[in-house]
Chains A and B, each alone.
Chain A
Amino acid sequence: MRHYSSHVFPLPVSFSFWAAGLFLCLFFLLPLGVVLGVSLASRGLYGGVQWIGTFENYRRLADPMIGVIFVRSILFASLTTLVCAVVGFPLAYMVARASQRWQLVWLTLVMIPFWTNFLVRTYAWVLILRADGLVNSLLLQLGIESEPLPLLFTDLAVGVGLVYGYLPFMVLPLIVAIERIPPQLEEAAYDLYASVGAMFRHVVLPLSKPGFWAGGVLVFIPSLGAFITPYLLGGGQKMMIGTLIQQEFLVSRDWPFGSALSFGLMGTALVLWFVVSRTSLGKDVQ
């Protein structure tokens, strides 16, 4: 990697520094500051925000009910990340090692879902999973089941929806990472007596780590705060952080507590990131 010292290129470096700084302030820090402010205020009698400073909202986070919701959300997000990694890797490998023409085809197929609204796509899953939906009609028609299976509004439905929604965020960074591995390394491994499995275990998987990290973060964070999927496919039966925050803002109209929850979510993600990057898993990220 090349580093341009500011002595050599004073203008571009300082310019890009300030541009990035301005962008960050406007679109990230400013809204974050507003949310922080709101989280330290009180709820008005009929909703709305009363600017009376208090830590009450944060104290309410200690509620065991809230704790259960956080743990459940973390569990769902972790499982989603894991499944995305397991499903996404073979897919990414296939795309990365395809000929240029096929690569374009596969990449387009991976991206096509993004062309429609996420809400609409999630609704499609409702149609697939509900009692008279695609899966159940198929099972009944083939005589595999005599009663429709309760698929919609289950944990499984939420999991399927999350994996479906965030899989591309795992696949794309993995493709980039795998493409960077010279195919000759694979041939060298085979030549040195590695079986196909051993080659993947010792060469491609370890060298794909940057892709797993990037993909993992890109899948874990949004699925931790997801609310459309648990709401539509889980029927809102089991509360998740995302659905809870949404409820506080739009239903209970308790913006200060919703904001405190948001900060709790962010704090959780940061702590998890810190812990994971301290373990042996994270050593090679630096």
Chain B
Amino acid sequence: MNATVVLEHVTKAHGQMVAVNDVSLSMKSGEFFSILGPSGSGKTTILRMIAGLDVPDSGTIMIQQRVVNADPPHVRPVNMVFQHYALFPHMNVFDNIAFGLRMRPEAGRNIRQAVERMVALVRLDGKSQRFPGQLSGGEQQRVALARALVNRPVVVLLDEPLAALDQQLRQEMQGELKRLQQEVNATFICVTHQQDEALTLSDRIAVMHAGTLLQVGTPQEVYDQPASSTVARFIGLSNSLSGTMTRLENNVCWIEHEAFPTLMARYPSGAAAHGPVTVMVRPERLHISLDVPDKGYDNTLPAVVHHIMFHGNEMAYQFRLRNEAVWTARVPIGETRRAQLAIGQAVYLQWAVHEGLALVP
């Protein structure tokens, strides 16, 4: 394995607040690595420590097999795309992109050529004389990217690069990011709190929570086998119910709950642990049946419609279970016609065994 960036037991506190707590990670050369986590989980702090803008309290950071803890940012072969781009407002697009090259004499004399190639790569042709204030959000974002990429850094750090863009532009730029990463063949370390973004773009994902690393894996691994209920919740398994595991067979477990019939769910962690578990189900996997439970589902929970939201292409229903837990189901608009639900109506929520996941809480 060829690791470009390695973090070993890195800890960083801001005063009393431990922003990053004993995190060890290793990013492979040329991979698109995402750090996913809720607000305040320490994602930005990790990026800043790799860039050299923050110094870890303990632990080591290595870039290309060299410990860089003591290196100031301007000697590290990494470039950062800041959350709000941090473009230089008094320089036009060309000068912004050329900045890094001009700061390094060894970058050579072909600055103009390199910058123009970059301008074309991020599709800003004809706009290199504009100032940041004269660009749209998406264009500014691409200048920020170009300003980092033109230096051919070993590692590109991206702090929520798409957060400031609207939905449509974000999807467009997702593709663009992936294309650029493959084109320049650098390691991209990208911070985001959008799970779909991380799942779509990344070769591997690290999930953070409150300064600690919860899981590292491919999108498939994180999606199918979340290591804990926190991870599961963060990648969209938002419905949960706690019960007691009573039986385990072929990675399928039986869960008892005093208020509900027995539930069955996948139990990926393997280790037999009779005791408390949490069953989790994705909102888009729930089947709603009206008067009587439909046949062919392994799990059935009675529930009452609590709230209905229209989301354009789908409906989101909130249900209240007998134990007062609130579950959500998402149904594509085309399938809702046969299920005209009203608030207060009693229904059954159903799902197959492989669509639920049981995790030790």
A→B interface (CB under 8 Å): 182, 184-185, 187-195, 198, 202-203, 206-207, 284
Contact = CB atoms under 8 A, between A and B. Distances in A.
Contact of A187 (B86, B90, B103, B104): B86
Given A192-B151, A194-B103, A185 B88 contact: yes
A203 B79 contact: no
B79 A191 contact: yes
Chain A interface mostly: helix
Interface in B57-116: 72-75, 78-80, 82, 84, 86-90, 99-100, 103-104
A133 B216 CA distance: 72
A195 B75 CA distance: 9
B51 interface: yes
A261 to B, nearest CB: 41
Given A190-B52, A192-B147, 6 more contacts: A184-B84, A187-B73, A188-B86, A188-B88, A190-B73, A207-B89
15 contacts: A184-B84, A187-B82, A187-B86, A188-B86, A191-B74, A191-B78, A192-B79, A192-B147, A193-B75, A193-B100, A193-B103, A194-B74, A194-B99, A195-B103, A202-B99
Contacts of B99: 189, 192, 194, 202
A191 B104 contact: no
Contacts of A192: 74, 79, 99-100, 103, 147, 151
Interface string B186-218: 000000000000000000000000000000000
B82 A193 contact: no
Contacts of A190: 52-53, 72-74
A188 B82 contact: yes
Most chain B CB neighbours (cut-off 10 Å) among A188, A191, A202:
A191
A195 B104 CA distance: 10
B88 A198 contact: no
Interface residues of B, number: 23
A207 B88 CA distance: 9
Nearest to B103: A193
Contacts of B90: 206-207, 284
A184 B47 CA distance: 14
A82 B86 CA distance: 31
Interface string B145-162: 001000100000000000
Nearest to B99: A192
Nearest to A181: B89
B83 to A, nearest CB: 8
Contacts of A198: 103
Contacts of A207: 89-90
| 9 closest Cβ pairs, A-B complex | A192-B100, A193-B103, A188-B86, A184-B86, A190-B73, A193-B74, A191-B80, A194-B103, A192-B99
A207 B90 CA distance: 7
Contact of B51 (A189, A191, A195, A206): A191
A207 B100 CA distance: 18
Nearest to A209: B90
Nearest to A193: B103
B84 A193 contact: no
Nearest to B53: A187
A61 to B, nearest CB: 41
B82 A184 contact: yes
B190 to A, nearest CB: 16
A190 B90 CA distance: 17
A206 B92 CA distance: 14
B7 to A, nearest CB: 18
A203 B84 CA distance: 17
B151 A193 contact: yes
A194 B107 CA distance: 13
Contacts of B86: 182, 184-185, 187-188
